[in-house]
């Protein structure tokens, strides 16, 4: 009889252990990030807030988590914790992102960015370089950004070294160059590959005929430009040499897209 008692006790102990593991598993994410427990939970072992719901659903780590994007999708403040971080959007953590923006990259400082955070804006994506004949376009891009940013326009700059090796520096050097020489304030991202072997998934999507049949083709040089509309669809493409301030078609396309309301 004692054998059955011991077996039952062992099973009960195992069940309690499993329950404890389940209850405490998600706070491990917060500990990894160096946060208090209510960073992911309403309270320890209790219901999860938007961060904990994301991890529980997608089983992803902090490496892929864009707090700004997820907070917006959940309908809460980006700095919310505990009960204040409980989603107000019923469908969360299910988030719909247009294919052209369904990419996770890193900004120039190494922070994770889900490009879905820009969905709903008119976007100009451009591959940039610091030592190119087209580099003065930084000044034109900044002027256009200043002119239209309050209307929902953003420029995303992606440094790349595939053309004449004209972007040899690291991210810190690139950031220092474009901010000190051209006062760039639009979002800049970590150096990536935009053509050939090792091409970044984003630029594979933008240039492949299967995903972008209308505007496909290899990037021609530094400062090639794509315009993404408010729905997250590729609306136009312009060659590298087209200076935004001197090419009427570029500003015309931007204004056209900005005036289209969903």
Which residues are within 8 A (CB) of 179 and not within 5 positions of it... i.e. 6 or more apart?
185
Band of pLDDT at residue 195, cut at 50, 70 and 90: very high
- pLDDT tens-digit readout, 158-191: 999 999 999 999 999 999 999 999 999 999 999 9
Q: What tokens appear for 92 in the block?
A: 């969360």
Q: Is the pLDDT of residue 244 over 80?
A: yes
Q: Is 132 a catalytic residue?
A: yes
Q: What is the pLDDT of residue 61?
A: 63
Residue of 135, 140, 128 lying closest to 194 (CA atoms): 128
Q: What tokens appear for 168 in the block?
A: 């040899």
Q: Measure CA of the first residue to CA of the last residue in the chain; give whole Å.
A: 72
Q: In the Cβ-directed half-sphere of 87, how many Cα atoms lie within 13 Å? A: 21
Q: Is the pLDDT of residue 59 over 80?
A: no
Computed over every residue of the chain, the mean pLDDT equals 88
Of 11, 37, 132, 216, catalytic:
132
Rounded distance between C-alpha atoms, residue 81 and residue 256, angstroms? 40
- For the chain, what percent of residues have pLDDT higher than 90? 75
Domains and CATH numbers, the chain: 2-85 (no CATH), 99-258 (3.40.30.10)
**pTM for this entry:** 0.86
Q: What is the pLDDT of residue 42?
A: 92
């Amino acid at each position: 009889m004692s054998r059955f008692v011991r077996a039952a006790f062992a099973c009960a102990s195992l069940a309690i252990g499993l329950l404890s593991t389940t209850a405490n598993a998600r706070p491990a994410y917060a500990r990894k990030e160096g946060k208090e427990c209510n960073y992911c939970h309403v309270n320890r072992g209790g219901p999860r807030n938007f961060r904990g719901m994301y991890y529980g659903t997608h089983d992803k780590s902090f490496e892929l988590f864009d707090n700004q994007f997820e907070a917006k999708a959940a309908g809460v403040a980006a700095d919310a914790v505990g009960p204040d971080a409980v989603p107000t959007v019923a469908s969360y953590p299910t988030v719909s992102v247009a294919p052209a923006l369904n990419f996770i990259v890193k900004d120039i400082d190494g922070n994770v960015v889900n490009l879905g955070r820009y969905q709903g804006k008119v976007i100009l994506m451009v591959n940039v370089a610091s030592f190119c004949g087209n580099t003065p376009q930084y000044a034109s891009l900044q002027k256009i950004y200043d002119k239209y940013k309050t209307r929902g326009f953003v420029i995303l700059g992606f440094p790349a070294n595939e053309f004449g090796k004209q972007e040899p520096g690291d991210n810190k050097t690139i950031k220092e160059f474009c901010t000190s020489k051209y006062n760039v304030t639009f979002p800049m991202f970590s150096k990536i590959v935009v053509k050939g072997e090792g091409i970044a998934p984003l630029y594979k999507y933008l240039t492949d005929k299967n995903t972008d049949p209308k505007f496909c083709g290899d990037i021609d040089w530094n400062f090639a430009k794509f315009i993404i509309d408010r729905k997250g669809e590729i609306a136009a493409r312009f060659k590298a040499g087209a200076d935004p301030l001197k090419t009427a078609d570029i500003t015309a396309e931007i204004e056209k897209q900005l005036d289209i309301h969903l």
